[in-house]
Amino acid sequence: MKKVMLTGVRPSGNLTLGNYLGAIKNFVDKQKQCKSYIFIADLHAITSPKDPQKLKESVQNCIAMYLACGVDPNKTIVFKQSDVLEHGTMGFIMTFQTKFGELNRMTQFKCKSQVAGKQGVDTGLFVYPTLMVGDILLYNTNVVPVGKDQQQHVELTRDLAERFNKRYGNTFVLPDVYIAPVGNKILNLQNPLEKMNKSDSGDNKGTIFLMEDLNSARKKIMSAKTDSLNKVKFDEENQPGISNLISILAKITDEAIQSIEKRYEGKGYGEFKKEVADKVCELLNKIQTNFNKFNDPDILDGIVKDGAKKATKTAKQTLQKSMRVLGLC
Ligand code: TRP
């Protein structure tokens, strides 16, 4: 039996090379081996108020982007969370299985509620993890590929599923988190001590966007901050800039880090950066061409409706099973 892999993505425009190499590519590479689901977490997006038109646009944009990056609707069930109504009910049930303290100690909640300060923090932000728990459990998920910041939420899912199974009998599959070993932290090209983020403090000179103009992307790679040691060597502590460029190249081409180091023995940074820039531009070019092909409301609508139909089938079964054991039906 194939393992079930599922991940959810918050709709956001302007995905970066860091998003692609750190998360999207891992999913794309694994989608053949698994029974795979990917959904746009639009219910998670309304934890804080959003402009409705903008939300709609970013959901559409995000789906087109994931397809452009290689998520294949023939191998993966692609859907919108709000199209499968079972998510809301399952999230509600899981909220009622959770202790206040369990949510109160979630790192992401603690950070975000501190930022909210006096204005007060939305309840949505507090119960957000239990909605995510429901998302994962609905599909009997075995593997959840996510970034490190979401690991705690997947661990909460395991804890709650285990508790529920003990209380009511075996109902849910316990999921494992998957964090990719290479490329899980692509760094800012100008400040390789910071992650490559959408909101970059230095005029975005350190961030490459997937929809970026190729010349501009090339310039950013060629002027990436390095060091004066002049060795292409993976040493995150003493050569963070060069190590970051090696990670980028290794992750794009699937070449081993040592093999890259070997090829560049005795060679300078200029030549090395040029290869990184070539490979990044090739990748962006492919993604951008695909994006323009997929970014058509009719095509996207068809894919997402079909995905929702397939997802609903499984989600309904799991929800009914849990309602039965709870005595609700
Ligand atoms: N919370 C995740 C994030 O912020 C998105 C998400 C929602 C998710 N539901 C999920 C991820 C289920 C994995 C599985 O990135």
| Ligand 1 midpoint to CA 230 (Å) | 41
Q: Which residues line ligand 1 (CB under 6 A)?
A: 6-8, 10, 41, 44, 132, 135-136, 144, 146, 150
Separation between Cα atoms, residue 259 and residue 271, nearest integer Å: 16
Closest ligand 1 atom, residue 135 Cα = 12
Closest ligand 1 atom, residue 6 Cα = 14
Out of 23-27, 45-49, 82-86, which region has the weakest mean confidence (pLDDT)? 45-49
* Collapsed DSSP state (helix, strand, coil) of residue 224: coil
Half-sphere exposure (CA, 13 Å, Cβ side) for 315?
A: 25
| Ligand 1 midpoint to CA 135 (Å) | 8
54 annotated active-site: no
220 annotated active-site: no
Contact 68, 296 (CB under 8 A): no
Burial of 100 (0-12, 13-18, 19+ CB in 10 A): exposed
Q: For 282-319, write each residue's pLDDT tens digit.
A: 999 999 999 999 999 999 999 999 999 999 999 999 99
pTM, two decimal places: 0.92
- Say what the pLDDT of residue 201 is: 65
| Ligand 1 midpoint to CA 319 (Å) | 19
306, 305, 294: which is closest to 69 by C-alpha?
294
Separation between Cα atoms, residue 167 and residue 173, nearest integer Å: 15
The H or E element containing residue 80 is strand 76-80
* Collapsed DSSP state (helix, strand, coil) of residue 165: helix
231 annotated active-site: no
- Residues of the chain above pLDDT 70, percent: 98
| Ligand 1 midpoint to CA 141 (Å) | 13
